[in-house]
Amino acid sequence: MAADVPQLDDPRLDEIVDLYSVMAARLSDGFEDMVDEEDPSKKFLLYTAVLALLLLLFQRSEEWAQTNVALYLRQADERATRSLSAIRPGTVFDPGLNRTAFRTITKDTVGHFFKARNLLEQYLGRVFRSLGLEQDFAFFANQIRSGDPTATPDQLNRKLKKKLVRDFRAAPVTVIGKNGKPFSYPLPYYAAMVAHNAKFQVQSLTAINRALEVGHDLVQISPQPSLHGDWCDAYRGKVFSISGATPGFATLDQLPNNGAPFHPWCRHTMQIYDPTGKGREELQEAGSVDSRFLLSQSNDFNAMVRAWWASRR
């Protein structure tokens, strides 16, 4: 597994990371060969070879998503129905209930993989055209000219090629976050993040769907702490109402992302909560959430995050 990817503890997630690690190396080598090649016809062949690798990577990614989202969903569904059966013995569950969830999460996951492919294809095309056309070459050259304004065209060319290869190897996928800022990721890291999020989204969405099926209103955020003491720890172990019909509990729509997982790499999920046999104080504690961490018209996401970090000082 790539060294910069967090420990995943899941062979299926390791599988997609290993695939992207191998393919990232092949793509980087092919990109470097294309950049260094002087013969136009050979450069074109190298360019098409890199595009073919990207297509193969996407196809393998799509296969991974189709297979493993289904596996994660089946496991999550077994947990959810087992929990609800303990609360409501004799319940008969619709076996096809989560087909829509499967299609939704699979489509979303494949869409993220396609985004990476599309961004890389666009970048490769621009580099390929720019290295062969003086007027487009200036776009990239200007990025490094300011660092050495006296460089000759040949020196600039060599520096530019090194920079292009270095940047491509380091972090070829750039996406815009919800805060409007760009984030750049190496391919293996990006794939791990997408796959991890798919796994945890499946767990939460399945629990919600099964709860709604039988009219169960309460779900709990999983109690484990985040890896880095992040703001999502404000909700760990707390119980929320799906519909808002249960007094004493905030609703999921008052949470960022409408509940766990809250952000990329979030380890929290939502699970069925059984209030049976719980005393008043225990239920009050389960539903007690600081109002500073609940979203409203007067308390947006940024204000909530600031309040969280202020509370940690």
Structure tokens at 235: 């909700």
Structure tokens at 292: 């500073």
Cα 76 to Cα 266: distance, rounded to the nearest angstrom = 17
Strand 239-241 relative to strand 218-221: parallel, antiparallel, unpaired?
Answer: antiparallel
Which residue positions in the chain have pLDDT lower than 70?
A: 1-3, 132-157, 178
How far does CA 140 lie from the centroid of its chain? Answer: 30
Query: pTM of the full predicted structure?
Result: 0.86
pLDDT for position 151: 58
pLDDT for position 233: 94
pLDDT for position 149: 57
Cα 198 to Cα 183: distance, rounded to the nearest angstrom = 19
pLDDT for position 73: 95
- Phi/psi of residue 239, each to 5°? -110, 140
Residue with tokens 């979030």: 266
pLDDT for position 36: 86
pLDDT for position 136: 44
pLDDT for position 1: 47
pLDDT for position 141: 53
Contacts of 64 (CB under 8 A, 6+ apart): 15, 16, 19, 195
- Nearest to residue 93, comparing CAs of 216, 200, 240, 270? 216
C-alpha distances (whole Å) from 187 to each of 8, 32, 34, 190 are 16, 16, 19, 5
For helices 187-214 and 11-36, give the axis angle rounded to 10 degrees.
140
Label residue 239 exposed, middle or buried (CB < 10 Å: 0-12, 13-18, 19+).
buried
Spatial contact of 81 and 93, defined as CB atoms under 8 Å apart: yes
pLDDT for position 155: 63
Q: Give 293's DSSP letter.
A: G
Q: How many C-beta atoms lie closer than 10 Å to residue 26's C-beta? A: 14
pLDDT for position 182: 87
Dihedral sign (CA 194, 198, 200, 204):
positive
